[in-house]
Structures are given as structure tokens and as C-alpha cells.
Amino acid sequence: MRALVQRVTEASVSVEDKVIGRIGPGLVVLVCAMQGDTEAEAAGLAAKISKLRIFRDGDGRMNRSLVDAGGAALVVSQFTLAADTSRGNRPGFSAAAAPEPGQALYQAFARDLAALGVAVETGEFGAEMAVALINDGPVTIWLDTAG
């Protein structure tokens, strides 16, 4: 699985001009299931993200995790993280999981993250979404469970 994690002061996701998820301080997690991914990888990615020490401590250093900081997560499905741009200017997305297993893994990831004590809001799988956020830092981190 792939994820792009952004530390935020606030964020929201809307579908058809209706806000369906909103968080205060925490992380926006754009997540993509890749072909061959399993629920074990979803659980491992959730655990890794919950423990990333990217929140400031009392000395202003990145030394606290999402759980330590009491932050929330806005989890949004993002199949375009599977983009292959190696052959021309039109990205290919064939490495992304098919919609049915992709949705199941997206939902498993969100459940796993919530089970670790993180308040989780989600987008709508497969929908056209508008994501608004205020990136804090900015801190943006790419994670990939492959290799």
C-alpha cells in the first residue's frame, strides 16, 4: 500500500459541496491499495502511521506520534498514488488494486488506524472529492509497504 501523509492544523473532505469528514490537528492520509496488497499490509501501514514521530514536543522537535499528540486522521482514498509516469506524459494506474479489493483495503486501513486509538474521519471511496487542508510545517511524508 502507498500513503502520502500530511501533518495538518485542520482538514476536511467534501463530496458534492457537502462536508463528509473534518478534523482538527492531525494527519491527512491519502492512501492507495496496490495490486497484491493484503489486510496485513493495511494493518502494518496503519501501525506505522500511528507511530510516526512527526509532531512537535515541548522543545519544538518532531518527537511525538499522532497517538502521543492526540491528533485525528482524515483518511482519503487516492488511487492516483499508483501513477506510473515512466512511459510518456499520460500516467498509467494499472498497478492500483481493482476497485473491490481496493475499497476493502481502504476500509480495513481506516478501521485499523481507529483501533489504534486514532479518531478517524474518511472520504468516500470512488467519489469525486474536494480535500481542503492547512499543511502544518509543512510536513509531508511518502510511505510505501513494497520493498
Q: Give me the active site residues, please.
A: 78-80
Alpha carbon distance 121, 110 (integer Å): 8
For residues 66 and 7, the answer to whether their CB atoms sit within 8 Å is: no
Residue 97 DSSP symbol:
P
Name the packing angle between helices 39-51 and 99-115 (round to 10°).
40
